[in-house]
Amino acid sequence: MYPFKFKPILKERLWGGTKLKDKLGKPIENDITGESWELSTVKGDVSVVANGELSGTSLQELINRNPESVLGKSVVERFGTDFPILIKFIDAKKDLSIQLHPNDELAKKRHDSFGKTEMWYIMDADDEASLIVGFNKDVTKEEYAQSLENDSLLDLLNYESVKEGDTFFINTGKIHAIGAGVLLAEIQQTSDVTYRVFDFNRRDKNGNLRELHTEQALDAIDYEKKDDFKVGYPKEMNTVNKMVDCPYFKTNFIELSEELELNITERDSFTIFMCVGGSVEVQNDHGSARIQKGETVLVSANSSRIHLKTSEVKLLEVTI
């Protein structure tokens, strides 16, 4: 149960680019790679250990062998042997489609899946880059539907300019899109259920328009204007700074210029570190692994301590 690194699962996307290679060193071989899935047990896309004696073992196999040791007793009680979150890096060379995700209740009913609450940490942004998050006013279902018919949806949406370090929390039902020129880290519930409502009339490599989920989205959208998405958080050096604490995950920001020891004896959860700057050696009771910007490591729940050895690093720490 040493700290585990995993092979990235790379995804070509119509809107992808090359920043995952240029900025994060991912082994991509084309110009349209949009996502690097870092930790996943989504069917067909299960992460595989890349380091140590268990190299080649899938994350699901690790969990199945000893669920409580990997996940934590309380996590197993809630989710069984399902890994409850999905970790990604995303590069948007072009605007992503405008979309939203259903809540747990609707996703279970329609797709036998969890909903998809997520958060974004901006790692890099071109000048003038922005996100779409929510509406710019309260709208009715009828107004929204009319805007799709007359091609005026963009007039109803809220745009947020972004820079490195900005963080956003995206509730289920909130309409959103990552804008061109943004590289970010994403933490989300384990779900791949997305309702795409507008795609700028783009066509795929075969000349086809991508599927829209207009009718499904109508009952899933939150039509109220809410300023609940921008995450303010402290940025004190050499300590743990709370960012997000929701029912699905907890995320902290850690920026270090020296070593840090974390006592996690009472933490009944696995711990994930996403490196968003610099590099660090992550040690637990059973071994160590070094990660640098753009890499992710999983520390099992049966660890009592985590020692972070570095002279300069920025981390997102994720637990349940």
Residues catalogued as catalytic: 196
307 marked among binding-site residues: no
Cβ atoms within 10 Å, residue 131: 25
What separation in angstroms does the CA of 189 have from each of 57, 84, 135, 149, 302?
23, 6, 23, 32, 22
Identify residue 180 by its one-letter amino acid code: A
Residues 182, 36: Cα–Cα separation, whole Å: 14
**Are the C-beta atoms of residues 301 and 71 closer than 8 Å to each other?**
yes
For residues 172-210, b (16+ Cβ closer than 10 Å) or e, as one string?
bbbbbbbbbbbbbbbbbbbbbbebbbbbeeeeeeeeeee
Number of helices (H) and strands (E), helices first, in the chain?
7, 21
Neighbouring residues of 72: CB distance < 8 A, sequence distance ≥ 6:
267, 268, 269, 270, 301, 320
255 marked among binding-site residues: no
Residues 270, 282: Cα–Cα separation, whole Å: 14
Cβ atoms within 10 Å, residue 60: 17
Beta-bridge partner residues of 254: 240, 315
101 marked among binding-site residues: yes
Residue ranges at the known binding site for Zn(2+): 101, 118, 176
Residue ranges at the known binding site: 101, 118, 176
